[in-house]
Each structure stands twice: as structure tokens, then as C-alpha cells.
Amino acid sequence: MTPLAITMGEPAGIGGELVLAAFEALQDEGIAMVLLDDPDRIEALGRAVGLPTRIAVVDQPENAAAVVGALPVLPLPQRVPLRLGTLGTATTPAVLGAIERAVSLAMEGRVSGVVTNPIHKAVLQDAGFSHPGHTEFLAELAGVPRTVMMLASPELRVVPVTIHIALSEVPAALTGAAIIETARIVSDALQRDFGVVNPRLAVAGLNPHAGEDGKMGTEDRDVIAPAVAALKAEGINAFGPLSADTMFHERARCSYDAALCMFHDQALIPIKTIAFDEGVNVTLGLPFVRTSPDHGTALDIAGKGVARPDSLIAAIRLAAQMSRHRTGVTGAGATVLETS
């Protein structure tokens, strides 16, 4: 069984303790995993937070599947001290090295997917990291021109077409080409990674009431509607633009497999309302599976034993499910989300 690679993330944050908690919760589910971290740090962290976990140091990821009753750890070249809640650029080589190593292993087929713990972008950028965040770094490492962010839960999958830009910049950035390219990536991923045979994509409007035929803004009529028509002509089962205020109640959610939203909060508010602790960040368009918990480093609670592992557990389960779909294996241990 090929393991999932789990990256260290920001060592001053909650990532390490969540891995320990997730490992305990998932031991009986048959999901192989290997943590890229400093084994000494993880052992010390387990004692500090009351989660003393057996650690098995492995020199190759392939050896992780044979480990029973212990968390397999693939050591990093750098030593990482246990300094919870205290940021510092000295750990940047280890943080980035874990991501680079995980991607390399995934590209070689030696791990079945990558689950990334949250990083602290500001401290990495202080050390010279030039990317806006995780996703852009992963895309560069994988050599792909464009990726798509999906937030997924059993109840809802959402994809923002525009992401981390000011709301005032959205209308100019929202092009038909961007909508079409995003929808293509999402439709392909739903089939390949989620087992949805004929994906249904609900496309949100930008303006109130989807613009009411230009009376409340022209973007829905002039940009979004033609993009939806072009997608339909390609054979993609897309429909819209829809009024966003009626898209996310329970009955409406049954009519689609993913919602394409026009800006960040239009997508993230509904899913964080419905599944705040179980939402998973999925990067679509990479040549390997990548998921991540949908939360940050939470420095203020690191080491206090109160951080909830639900999102990381969901991220690991979803990565395992997606990798099974990619390889055509969906037997024991698979966690199947609701699909059409």
C-alpha cells in the first residue's frame, strides 16, 4: 500500500499535534501515511501535549506501509526545535524542504498523495519565500500553469473562480476564459478524483439576483452567461448564472456536484457555515492528489491540547479516497462522499 505524505507545516503551530491526534483516530481505517518531520520534535511534542505516540523512523516512504502501531516518520535533513507559538525564519528550510520532498515523492509515484499542514506565509516570506502561498508553490514544483482551489465536505463542494484579491478587483478579473478554464479543471477532477460520472456544475452569478438581466450589473449577462453557454457546447453539464443567495440550502445542494463561485467569500462563507470543522482544501489541476485542512497555524493555541483535528482527519480521508479513484481501487477503507 502506497502511503500518503503528510508535510510538517509551520512547526510553531498546531500541525504536529493534529497529526498525532489524526493518527490515533485513523489507525483502524487502513490508511497508510508517512510524516515528513523531525522525529525528535514529534516525540517531544507528543509528550508535551499528552499524546505520547510511538514513532517509527523510516528511511524510505515505501517502508511506512509495513509499520504497525506507530507513526512512520521520514526524517528531514534539518533538526527542528520544539518552540510552540514562537515563529522564526530558522525553520524555513525544513518547512519548505518537507513540501519539496513530498512533491518529489508524489511525482515519482512513491507516495499516493500529499496532505499539507498549514504554513505561516509571512514568516516564510521574511526568509525570502516568493510565492503568495502553498498552492502557487506546489504548482511551480509540479510544473503546471494553473491550479484550482476547491473546498470540499460531504455536504458541499465549492470553487472560487477569483480568490485572494480585493472585492473591488473582482469584476475586472472575472473573464469568460477564467470561468471556462476553471470549470474544465473542476469537471475533469470530479470524474477522475471523486468518481462523479457526469458532474453537474452550478455557476453562481456575481451580482444580486444574478444581475436581473443587466438591471443590477452587466457581468452576469455579458460574461458569466456566455461562459456557461460555451461550457454546455463542450458537453460540460454547467448551468447558471444562479442567484447566489438561493444556491446553498439543502434542497438546492442536491442539484449539483460542485458550485463555481465568482469570488472568495461567496464560496467560503457557505461551506464554513455548513462544515466549519470538516472542510478540506483540495488543489485541482496538479498531477498528484493534494489536500489540506481548511484552517491556519493557530499559533495562539499551539501546544495547549485544544486544537481540533477534524479538518486534518477529513483531509487525510479525502486524499486517500481521491488516490483510490485515480488508481481505480475503491475497496475497503474508502470514504465515499455523496456524488451523482
CATH of residue 166: 3.40.718.10
Domain boundary among 222, 249, 274: 274
Give the span between the Cα atoms of 259 and 153, in whole angstroms: 12
DSSP code of 28? G
In a domain? residue 18: yes
Q: Identify the burial level of 246 via C-beta atoms within 10 angstroms of its C-beta, where 0-12 means exposed, 13-18 middle and 19 or more buried.
A: exposed
Element (DSSP H or E) covering residue 180: helix 176-194
Q: What share of the chain is helix, strand, coil (3-state, %, to 5)?
A: 45, 15, 40
pTM of the model as a whole:
0.91
CA atoms within 13 A on the CB side of 277: 5
Range of the domain at 122: 1-147+286-340
Same domain, 13 and 121: yes
Q: Are strands 148-152 and 157-160 parallel, antiparallel or unpaired?
A: antiparallel
Residue given cell 458541499 in the structure block: 156
pLDDT of residue 165: 87
Of the candidates 12, 192, 9, 156, the residue with the CA atom closest to the CA atom of residue 22: 9
Domain boundary among 274, 307, 322: 274
pLDDT of residue 133: 80
Same domain, 12 and 135: yes
Same domain, 122 and 6: yes
In a domain? residue 88: yes
Asked whether 64 and 32 are in contact (CB, 8 A), the reply is yes
Q: Which three cell numbers stand for residue 105?
A: 515523492
Same domain, 182 and 224: yes
Residue 58 phi/psi, 5-degree rounding, is: -120, 145
Same domain, 249 and 198: yes
Same domain, 112 and 166: no
Same domain, 71 and 171: no
Number of domains in the chain: 2
Same domain, 71 and 201: no
Of the candidates 207, 212, 274, 202, the residue with the CA atom closest to the CA atom of residue 236: 202
In a domain? residue 58: yes
Q: Across the 340 residues of the chain, what is the mean pLDDT of every consecutive 10-residue run?
A: 95 96 93 96 94 94 93 95 92 95 97 96 90 87 94 96 92 96 97 95 96 89 97 98 96 97 96 91 96 92 92 96 83 36
Three-state DSSP class for residue 179 = helix
Same domain, 119 and 31: yes
In a domain? residue 281: no
Same domain, 20 and 138: yes
Same domain, 126 and 2: yes
Asked whether 319 and 30 are in contact (CB, 8 A), the reply is no
